[in-house]
Amino acid sequence: MSWKQRLVPYWLLGPGLLWLILFFVVPMYFMGELALRSGTLTTGYAFDWAWSNFPDSLSGHTEQIVRSFFYAGTATVLALLIAYPLAYAIAFRAGRYKALLLFAVIAPFFTTYLIRTIAWKTILSDSSPVVSVLQTLSLVPPDGRVLATSGAVIAGLTYNFLPFMVLPLYANLERLDLRLVEAAKDLYSSSTQAFLRVTLPLTLPGIVAGVLLTFIPAFGDYINAQILGGTGQAMIGNVIQSLYLTQRNYPEAAALSFLMMALILAVVTIYIRFAGTGAFMGDEEEAR
Amino acid sequence: MSASRTRKRRVPLTVAAVVAALSLVLGLAACGGDTVGGGGNSGEVTVAKSGPVKGQLTISNWPGYIDPGPNGTVAEFEKATGVSVDYIEDINSNDSFFGKLQPQLEQGESGGRSLFVVADYMAEQMHDLGYLQEIEHKDLPTVFENLQPDLRSPAFDPERKFSVPWQGGMTGIWVDTSKAPEIKSVNDLFDPKYKGKVTMLDELRETPALVMLAEGVDPAKASAEEWLAAIDRLSAAAESGQIRRFTGNDYTEDLTAGNIVAAIGWSGDASIIENDNAEWRMPTEGCVKWSENMVIPVGAPNTAAAIGWMNFTYRPEVAADITQFVEYISPVKGVKEILEKRGSDLAESEIVFPSEEFTRNCTGQNTPPELDRVNEAWQNVLTG
Amino acid sequence: MAVLSRAWGWLRRNALPIYACLAVFYMLIPIIVIAVFSFGATPKGKLTFGLSHGFTTEYWTSAFSLPELNEALLTSLRLAALATVISTAIGTMMAIALVRHKFRGRRAANLLIVIPMATPEVVIGASLLSMFIYLSFALGFTTLLIAHVMFSISFVVVVVRSRLIGFDRHLEEAAADLGATPLTTFRTVTLPLLAPGIMAAALLAFALSIDDFVISNFNSGTTVTFPLYVFGVALRGVPVQVNVLATMLFALLAVAVLIVLWQQRRGERLAAVKPEPEPEPQAPVPSTAPVAS
């Protein structure tokens, strides 16, 4: 390979990496820097190594952080349970309709996040037939409601992030070599055993990728809590949004965002150390 | 070529890019001042230039504050003056609008807007930060000819140097009469039999103030402790689930959908609420009376047209059109008579033309003492 | 009895497809609701999601009567189109580099691409805002474009990459054997075969851009995109036209995708390319193979 040819990948990568560095990495630096300032709108934000912003921002909002973990976690588990069979069906039983089904999975994106969530708000409103059905089924107390409860927020999160769970699962499942499952069966294992011991472990990278891609955005979400929730359902995303846009307490907002970012970075890095970034994208790392 | 030589030549682009980016950033940090994003431009104040009314005008306002249709006020203005108007309804809360615009206002820019409409206290805050231009009375003949006397000299702008009232309103209680006809006071909203069926506004100067009124405290004179006490009561109600949600404009949705029986809300929203059983009530202990103001920001293009707009909307006929559509309180004299002549039953409405008697217990939008502390406590209630 | 057991057997065998249909229906529920209620009559022109007043098509005929809504939608479409073109181009290049070339810093590059996908939008939006505040950079269409391209790149890379990995290199090698230069090969063989993957990536990028609210809310300044407009009016009563336009948008895109898929199918048939053999469903449906006791 000539010297010029060796440079080709760098030219190809250049614009993208530059864009990501300038508009993803660098802003993170600015956010960190803003977190170390203190002040108000009228006095300006002076840089004075205000390290106290970090623990302060956490201590004031532990309730929302814990709540966000709980909501996002539950939503992720639910999404996994719903998405796995769906992804499996699309990968192996869809035949000609595969692309169509995949489109149906992304289709909700085309109606904008807000409208979808508002539609759910209506479907789940106190006087809707859906809620009446749920009440007769005793899933909801007779004089209870669905909206403005944790349940509604979790349901919203599950729905809105389902595609993020389906797609990585599907990408991974598609590569599953069914002959391995056949072989297990030939060796006298039952279907359940074959699933647990062959399919599940082989698709684990896809599962973990899906879980990460669902849990993390759900953790920082605030729309579902705002539209479907009530008092007492606020998530950490709501807090950050309020701090930035309503209270204009930029230093505390930046500190909180930065901490959230650091936490996620830690989790993702640990995972990638173990599984390689290829696994994150649902396939094995190429050894070309 | 030996391997080591080629290795040295291959400077990964990643590293080069990172180094470049970091030096750019460090360079900026060196140039940028120590203090950023605040301080305001207070000091010099610009005066809005008047002139022939023509060209293009961009206005930001709250939703539902004007008839945008082909026969509405905007269209009328365009026909009368030849100005092409870009009317944007992008203000949903004073705070978040301010938050969005602040970085630009700080630079002396208005994002292309020549005029927008904000509450008294927000206009005051913006003026103190130097974000608004002053307007000379001689340029606003129609305005000052028709402005209601009780609005000529408000506390926050005694000489009406930078604000011109747009509409006024009252914050009280919206009640679904088919479900809870007996609600008459803000205290009723804390009744456990309405648990989870009540919403309140997220405005600091309205909800806690109403609670204070209901307890016999005068918000205009209350101490920070009294504000905090009211906020505590609200916090407890939120935690127990008594208050379903704190809302902005969207309490109207819950009323329409039948999710709630009562809400703290604004007097003129009848045109938005699609629930024939809903009615606005003046709380027995009084309401919060507020007004919104047209202001001209720094960096506004075509201030002459903005001034022309202000004059135009103060023509009694035009003001009557606006009131008919919006159903809020007009700052213009003579609107009631015009509506009577048109045979509109709004002329009889106490909500649109409240008498002194009707609003005798009402207070204005007061800013609490020790604002930062009180506001933080309030925000903590809002974010659960 | 036999009928019952046959029916049960059928149910068990087809449990998975049935479930898939139900799941897909669940995904489409809000869309159906949105479409249905765009036909609901409402006295005050605001969406009530109730059909108590009957049906009407008036909002469809007056779909474009709200100038702000139209402008917001146009802004969103413009933004999405530009962002899609830029991010697809950049992302495709990156995917090719990652899959086809050896170079140092591959791990770092992978990391950099993957992390934005997993970052909450609040953090991305807020950090961009911090930077723009610091640089006193005016917020508006440009800042929106920057943000949208940024979060789309990663997704484009992932999609194109997975298509590239499953690529049959023999065709390219054949072209090289026939004397084509790498550039010509790329142009005439690789790119056309890669096209579906690129299209899929572009579609995803477009959807993400149109859909984005959180990041746009932080960085839009005074520019109003469709989701921002919806957020604004949602608080005061959504005009029914919003539903109408959302349904229209969805229908248009659905039709576009269906056409693309149909063309693909036609292309495959015409080229006599055998579609992938449908794998035999085995797990988790119980196998009928005898099991040694």
CA distances from B117 to B63, B78, B81, B120, B189 (A): 11, 19, 21, 10, 31
Alpha carbon A230 to chain centroid, angstroms = 22
Calculate the average pLDDT of chain A: 80
Q: How confident is the model at residue C81 (pLDDT cuts 50, 70, 90)?
A: very high
Write out chain B residues lying below 8 Å of A145, CB-based. Answer: 196, 259
Give the SS3 label for residue B119: strand
Cβ–Cβ contact A44 with C under 8 A:
no
Report the alpha-carbon distance of residue B219 to residue C94 in Å, rounded.
61
* Contact flag A26-B25 (C-beta cutoff 8 Å): yes
Strand partners, B116: B60, B295
Partner-chain contact A42 B39, CB within 8 Å: yes
Q: Which of residues 24-53 of C touch A (CB under 8 A)?
A: 24, 26-31, 33-34, 37, 49
CB C145 within 8 A of CB C223: no
Burial, A243: exposed, middle or buried (Cβ in 10 Å; 0-12, 13-18, 19+)? buried
Nearest CA-CA partner of B97 in B119, B81, B73: B119
- Whether the CB of A14 is below 8 Å from some CB of chain B: the reply is yes
Does A12 touch chain C if contact means CB atoms closer than 8 Å?
Answer: yes
pLDDT level of residue C43 (50, 70, 90 thresholds): low
Flag if A92 and C285 touch (Cβ within 8 Å). Answer: no
Q: Please state the rounded mean pLDDT for residues A210-234.
A: 86
Which residues in chain B have Cβ-Cβ distances shorter than 8 Å to C132?
A: 103
What Å distances lie between residue B22 and A25, A26, A48, A89, B36, CA to CA?
Answer: 10, 8, 21, 48, 20
**pLDDT score recorded for residue B296:** 93
A49 with A263: CB under 8 angstroms?
no
Of all residues in chain A, the one with the smallest CA distance to B237 is: A231
Of A33, A44, A234, Cβ closest to residue B35:
A44
What's the DSSP call for residue C16?
A: H
3 state SS for C97-156: HHHHCCCCCHHHHHHHHHHHHHCCHHHHHHHHHHHHHHCCCCCCHHHHHHHHHHHHHHHH
Q: Shortest CB distance from C230 goes to which of A27, A112, A244?
A: A112
Question: Which residues on chain C are in Cβ contact (under 8 Å) with B68?
Answer: 66-68
Show residues of chain B in contact with C135, CB under 8 Å. Answer: 28, 32
Residue B108, CB-side half-sphere exposure with 13 Å CA sphere: 6
Tell me the residues of chain B between 243 and 302 that have a Cβ less than 8 Å away from chain C.
247-250, 252-253, 256-257, 271-274
Q: Could you tell me which chain B residue has the CA closest to the CA of C224?
A: B90
Q: Note the pLDDT tens digit of each residue in A154-202.
A: 999 999 999 888 888 887 787 777 788 888 878 877 777 777 888 888 7
Quick check: B13 contacting A, CB < 8 Å? Answer: yes
Q: Which residues pair with C40 in a beta bridge?
A: C55
Report A:218-237 residues touching B (Cβ under 8 A): 229-234
Residues of chain C contacting residue A31, judged by C-beta atoms under 8 Å apart: 123, 126-127, 130-131
With an 8 Å Cβ cutoff, are C115 and A190 in contact? no
When pLDDT is cut at 50, 70 and 90, the band that residue C155 belongs to is confident
The C-alpha atoms of residue B201 and residue C235 are separated, in whole angstroms, by: 12
Compute how many other C-beta atoms are within 10 angstroms of the C-beta atom of residue C274. 7
Helix then strand count (H, E) for chain C reads 13, 0
CA distance C7 to chain A (A): 19
Q: Do the beta carbons of residue A83 and residue A162 sit within 8 Å?
A: yes
Q: In this structure, what token pair is assigned to residue B23?
A: 């030096």
Q: Do residues B276 and B90 make contact, with C-beta atoms less than 8 angstroms apart? A: no
Give the contacts of B35 (CB within 8 A, at least 6 positions apart): A39, A44, A45, A46, A47
Residue given tokens 């927008």 in the structure block: B116
- Considering only the beta carbons, identify the residue of A8, A28, A89 that sits closest to C20: A89
- The alpha carbon of A15 is separated from its chain's Cα centroid by a whole number of angstroms, namely 27
CB contact under 8 A, B258 and A147: no
The interface residues of chain C toward chain A in range 148-207, judged by CB-CB distance below 8 A, are 149-150, 153-154, 157-158, 161-162, 165, 203-204, 207
Per-residue pLDDT tens for B63-78?
Answer: 778 877 777 888 889 8
Describe chain C by its helix, strand, coil percentages, rounded to 5: 70, 0, 25
Q: Which residues contact C177 (CB under 8 A, 6 or more apart)?
A: none
Q: Cα distance from B44 to chain C (closest Cα, Å)? A: 21
Quick check: A219 and A161 in contact, CB under 8 A? Answer: no
Q: C38 pLDDT exceeds 70?
A: yes
Long-range contacts of B153-161 (CB under 8 A, 24+ apart): B154/B120, B154/B291, B155/B364, B156/B120, B156/B121, B156/B123, B156/B124, B157/B123, B157/B124, B157/B127, B157/B293, B161/B134, B161/B135
State how far residue C160 is from chain B, nearest Cα, in angstroms. Answer: 21
Nearest Cβ partner for C105 among B14, B89, B273: B14
Of C48, C133, C234, the CB nearest to B274: C48
ipTM above threshold 0.90: no
Which residues lie closer than 8 Å to C206 by C-beta, 6 or more apart?
C80, C81, C83, C84
Residue type, B289: K
Neighbors of chain C by Cβ distance (3+ pairs < 8 Å): A, B
Please, are residues B352 and B328 in contact by the beta-carbon 8 Å criterion? Answer: yes
pLDDT tens-digit map of C135-150: 777 778 898 999 999 9
Q: Report how far residue C258's alpha carbon sits from residue C255's, in angstroms, rounded to the nearest whole number.
A: 5
Angle at C167 between CA C161 and CA C172, to 5 degrees: 120
Out of C23, C157, C289, closest to residue A82 by CB = C23
Q: Which residues of chain B fall below pLDDT 70?
A: 1-44
Mean pLDDT over each residue of chain C, to the nearest integer: 78
Question: CA–CA separation, A41 vs B106, rounded Å?
Answer: 10
Distance spanning both ends of chain A, measured CA to CA: 15
Tokens of A217: 């955005």
Please judge whether B252 and C222 are an interchain contact, meaning their C-beta atoms are less than 8 angstroms apart.
no
∠ CA B133-A247-B104, rounded to 5°: 35
Q: Which of the two residues, C234 and A28, has the higher pLDDT score?
A: A28
CA pair distance C95, C159, nearest whole angstrom: 9
**In this complex, is the C-beta atom of A68 within 8 Å of any C-beta atom belonging to chain B?**
no
- More confidently predicted of B356 and C166: B356
Confidence label for A209 from pLDDT (cuts 50, 70 and 90)? confident
Mean pLDDT of C36-41: 76
Answer yes or no: is pLDDT of A41 > 70. no
Which chain C positions have a beta carbon within 8 Å of A44's beta carbon? none
B191 vs B242: CA distance, rounded Å: 8
Asked if B38 contacts A42 with a C-beta cutoff of 8 angstroms, the reply is: yes
Residue of A nearest to B203 (CA): A246
Rounded Cα–Cα distance for residues A154 and A224 (Å): 8
What does chain B come to in residues? Answer: 384
Structure tokens belonging to residue B51: 């002139």
Minimum CA–CA partner of C239 in chain B: B272
Structure token pair of residue A108: 């909700």
| Beta strands per DSSP E along B231-333 | 243-247, 262-266, 278-281, 288-295
Q: What per-residue confidence (pLDDT) applies to C114? A: 80
List the single residue in B38, B258, B372 with the smallest CB-CB distance to A127. B258
What is the least distance, in Å, from the CA of C218 to any CA of chain A? 8
Q: In what order do the strands lie in the sheet with A44-47?
A: A37-40, A44-47, B35-36
Residue A283 has pLDDT above 70, yes or no: no
Flag whether pLDDT at C47 surpasses 80. Answer: no
Q: How many CB atoms lie within 10 A of CB B364?
A: 18
Look at residue B57 and give its three-state secondary structure: strand
With contact defined as 3+ CB pairs under 8 Å, the chains touching B are A, C
> Per the omega criterion (within 30 degrees of 0), is the bond before C284 cis?
yes
Percent of chain A with pLDDT over 90: 9
Q: What is the pTM of this model?
A: 0.79
C263 touches chain A (CB under 8 A): no
CB pairs < 8 Å spanning A and C: 309
* Selected residue of A62, A146, A231 to mutate for chain B interface (largest B Cβ count, 10 A): A231
Interface check for A122 against chain B (CB to CB < 8 A): the answer is: yes
What residues of B are in contact with residue A47 (Cβ under 8 Å)? 34-36
From chain B residues 74-133, the ones with a CB under 8 A of any chain C CB are 87-90, 92, 100-101, 103-104, 106-107, 109, 111-113
Return the structure tokens found at C174.
Answer: 């054949």
Q: For Cα atoms A97, A103, A107, give the angle at the middle one, nearest 5 degrees.
A: 145
